[in-house]
């Protein structure tokens, strides 16, 4: 990842990288998904080989569908219990990534126009600064205007009082 999430430590980490948390639950879920995709291929082939209303491959179809259901049920329970329930957000890193995101420029366009907003975004990209720093350096808007117009929570539909 990008360091914005902290996974739970379910088992000892890497033997070559001290302090690393191995994403074993994610890896296990990925393996289950690969197996289910294999079942899907087998079911598709078996269904296609059936003749008329008689399909001698029904046992294979039923076996693989039921096995897929069981695998997904068990994997989702394990993933939810041992991974999702223990994920922690790293607020400082999340804020850093958000501040450095040039996608925030879309909030400026309605206020200063597309061309001026694009110029600010290009400047930030070329100079390796944040959009806010580039906007203020350009003189196109004040800090108060930037802060009023660029509201990331509102951009993703977050409403006060709701979690997240």
**Per residue in 116-156, pLDDT tens?**
999 999 999 999 999 999 999 999 899 999 999 999 888 88
Question: Does residue 95 lie in a domain region?
Answer: no
111: CATH: 1.10.40.30
Question: Does residue 162 lie in a domain region?
Answer: no
Q: Are residues 53 and 73 in the same domain?
A: yes
Q: For residue 146, what are the CA distances in angstroms to 13, 132, 134, 143?
A: 43, 7, 11, 5
Helix (H, G, I), strand (E, B) or coil at 51: strand
Q: Are residues 84 and 109 in the same domain?
A: no
pLDDT at 153 (0 to 100): 84
Q: Are residues 85 and 115 in the same domain?
A: no
Q: Are residues 121 and 72 in the same domain?
A: no
Question: Does residue 31 lie in a domain region?
Answer: yes
Q: Are residues 68 and 105 in the same domain?
A: no
Q: What's phi and psi for 20, nearest 5 deg? A: -75, 140
pLDDT at 89 (0 to 100): 93
pLDDT at 105 (0 to 100): 94
Q: Are residues 80 and 17 in the same domain?
A: yes
Query: What is the CB neighbour count within 10 angstroms for residue 45?
Result: 12
User: Domain range for residue 131?
Assistant: 100-152
Q: Are residues 82 and 104 in the same domain?
A: no
pLDDT at 154 (0 to 100): 85
Looking at the DSSP bridge assignments, the partners of residue 122 are none
pLDDT at 50 (0 to 100): 87
Question: Does residue 163 lie in a domain region?
Answer: no
Q: What is the pLDDT of residues 57-109, one digit of tens each?
A: 999 999 999 999 999 999 999 999 999 999 999 999 998 998 889 999 999 99
């Amino acid at each position: 990842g990008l360091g914005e999430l902290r996974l739970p430590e379910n088992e000892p980490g890497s033997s070559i990288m001290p302090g690393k948390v191995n994403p074993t639950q994610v890896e296990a879920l990925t393996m289950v998904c690969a197996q289910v995709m294999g079942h899907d291929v087998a079911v598709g082939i078996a269904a296609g080989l059936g003749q008329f209303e008689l399909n001698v491959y029904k046992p294979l179809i039923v076996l693989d569908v039921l096995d897929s259901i069981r695998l997904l049920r068990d994997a989702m329970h394990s993933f939810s219990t041992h991974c999702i329930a223990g994920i922690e957000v790293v607020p400082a890193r999340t804020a850093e990534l958000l501040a450095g995101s040039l996608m925030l420029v879309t909030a400026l366009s309605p206020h200063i126009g597309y061309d001026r907003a694009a110029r600010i975004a290009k400047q930030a990209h070329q100079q390796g600064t944040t959009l806010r720093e580039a906007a203020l350096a350009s003189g196109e808007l004040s800090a108060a205007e930037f802060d009023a117009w660029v509201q990331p929570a509102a951009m993703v539909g977050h409403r006060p009082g709701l979690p997240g």
